[in-house]
Amino acid sequence: MTVLRAGSATDPGRVRAVNQDSVLITDSLFCVADGMGGHAGGEVASKAAVDVLRTEALIATDADGVVVGIKRANDEVIRRSLEEPELAGMGTTVVAAMLVRDALGDHMVVANVGDSRAYHYQGGGLRQVSNDHSVSAELLRAGEITAEEAAHHVQRHVITRVLGFSDFEVDLFDLELFDGDRILLCSDGLSNEVSDEEISMVLGQAEDPSAAAADLVRRANANGGQDNISVVVIDVSETGRGPAAVPEPLPSAPVVATQVPAAKVVVARPTEIADLTQKGDEGWLARRRRLGMRRAITLRTGLLLGAIGLVVIGALGFVWWYEQSSYYVTTSENSLVIFEGRPGGLLWFHPQLSEITNTTTKDVLAMRIPQLRLGVIEPSKQAAQAYIANLRQEHSAAQLLNPTTTTSLPVTPATMSGG
């Protein structure tokens, strides 16, 4: 039976006064959360998320349990920020790994929201398991910018999914484990400062997980320590499978995995990351396939499945059309952004980031923010842009009527015309 040993280290870094990251180590579930938000918000958000997951670790037994845990953590962060005005706007990333024991044997489920990362060190090679949910990483995956451009992109730190505002899709990955494997969870304070090559070297040399975690944090500080740094290292043994034989080639470029269509279910094979991202319940057939169960399919059942398939394809086509036929306005960090799609997506159709506007949450009335966090649906991109323009005018007008409120916006009479 698989045995895990974990170690962690967390440090404010050399620039920030407080540490807004939180880490979690339990027997089966491990997590790094990177909080953000002024005042005490960031610390509170990441700690609240980790506290919820600590409880969820006692009941979660599979990937669905991890997703439920993260959604409950999201609910808790939202509840706290609504309850305590000084915490409004706080949020946190989550990257979690959980050992799952089922008919597949023991394997590791990784889940992430935001830009905190999971890496898998196996057979002497390192690969990034999770996909960053950041503007630059999404543009890179969409093929719109190069890796070099992504590394210097002005919005590389703007994350596109975060706990604390509205619903989101949790990305899931499934890892086959071998003796000697190491799993690394980290906040961007590590991955921004320490290259994959250096991380791989440390994981190949460090005696135990605590020493590896401490060494990685030390190197992040030595390279600048611009942000809070948090690391969890998990050592894998007693899997019943010897060390992975084939060393993975070490990637030369920053590893940002190519995007896998979310609906694709891959049968987990040794050393391969299967993308198990699913919205809602995993289908019966998909689950059997994932568990490696075979079933003879006769011609008649084949025809029946084919007919069902055509109906499903038709229904999915409608859902796709419905999903793509609207836009919505919401907030990301402090900017107003326009997405194509429906808030939270439908099935596995994700909203696509359409525009990051130069309007910030300070340019609109505070009373509009809760609605914006949930997402305001508009029929077209032009309508979404017009809605944002109206919000700005409304705010400007309010500033004129109530001049005691401080503002940095120049207000001209023209901006009042629509308010």
- The residue among 7 and 189 lying less far from Mn ion, judged by its C-beta, is 189
Q: What's the burial of 141, exposed, middle or buried (CB within 10 Å: 0-12/13-18/19+)?
A: middle
Judged by CB under 5 A, the number of residues near Mn ion is: 5
Separation between Cα atoms, residue 27 and residue 168, nearest integer Å:
27
- The residue among 187 and 396 lying less far from Mn ion, judged by its C-beta, is 187
Residue 266, SS3 per DSSP: coil
Helix, strand, coil percent content, the chain, rounded in steps of 5: 35, 25, 40
Residues numbered 18 to 47 that lie near Mn ion (CB under 5 A) are 34
Closest CA to 184 of 32, 311, 54, 17: 32
What is the nearest approach in angstroms of Mn ion to the Cβ of residue 114? 9
11 binds Mn ion (CB under 5 A): no
- The answer to whether 190 and 230 are in contact (CB under 8 A) is yes
- The residue among 189 and 209 lying less far from Mn ion, judged by its C-beta, is 189
What is the nearest approach in angstroms of Mn ion to the Cβ of residue 77? 16
Give every strand in the sheet of 352-360, ordered side by side.
352-360, 335-340, 327-332, 376-378
What is the nearest approach in angstroms of Mn ion to the Cβ of residue 93? 8
- The residue among 132 and 323 lying less far from Mn ion, judged by its C-beta, is 132
Half-sphere exposure of 252 (CA within 13 A, CB side): 0
Which residues, at least 6 apart from 298, have a Cβ–Cβ distance to it below 8 Å?
Answer: none
Q: Which of 188, 193, 333, 363 binds Mn ion (CB under 5 A)?
A: 188
What is the nearest approach in angstroms of Mn ion to the Cβ of residue 253? 22
- The residue among 100 and 217 lying less far from Mn ion, judged by its C-beta, is 217
Residues numbered 62 to 121 that lie near Mn ion (CB under 5 A) are none
Pattern 195-234, binding to Mn ion, x per CB under 5 A?
--------------------------------x-------
What is the nearest approach in angstroms of Mn ion to the Cβ of residue 12? 11
- The residue among 335 and 385 lying less far from Mn ion, judged by its C-beta, is 335
- Residue range at the interface with Mn ion (CB under 5 A); choices 4-12, 118-126, 185-193, 246-254: 185-193
Phi/psi of residue 79, nearest 5 degrees: -60, -45
Q: What's the burial of 222, exposed, middle or buried (CB within 10 Å: 0-12/13-18/19+)?
A: exposed
- The answer to whether 274 and 173 are in contact (CB under 8 A) is yes
Pattern 130-169, binding to Mn ion, x per CB under 5 A?
----------------------------------------
- Residue range at the interface with Mn ion (CB under 5 A); choices 97-105, 189-197, 299-307, 337-345: 189-197
Q: Please name the amino acid found at residue 416.
A: M
Q: Which residues bind Mn ion (CB under 5 A)?
A: 34, 187-189, 227
